Amino acid sequence: MNILFISGQEIILVLALALIFFGAKAIPDIAKVMGKGMSEFRKATNEIQRELNNSTSDIKKDIEEVNSSISKDSEEIRKNIDKQSKNLDT
């Protein structure tokens, strides 16, 4: 067994030390507190990710608008150049 570069013997040693230091009654409470902490950490991470997505979506919209405007302008310029070149050919 090898989880995160920790062998089975090391896991057993850590569990034995936790049992010795905290006692059998305190380990479930410690696990509960750690579980709640992980849950809060996930909630905070999700909130930060949501905020980043919201703020970057506004930037993406602005970039798309600028890109659309540039595309329209460049198409108009191309059409004008084509018209002028046809006028010169005749």
Residue 84 has a pLDDT of: 86
Average pLDDT estimate for 55-82: 90
pLDDT category at 60 given cuts 50, 70, 90 is: confident
pLDDT category at 42 given cuts 50, 70, 90 is: very high
Per-residue pLDDT tens for 23-40?
888 888 888 998 999 999
Query: In sequence order, which residues have a C-beta less than 8 Å from that of residue 38 and are 6 or more positions away?
Result: none
Tokens 């798309």 belong to residue: 64
pTM of this structure: 0.47
Residue 24 has a pLDDT of: 83
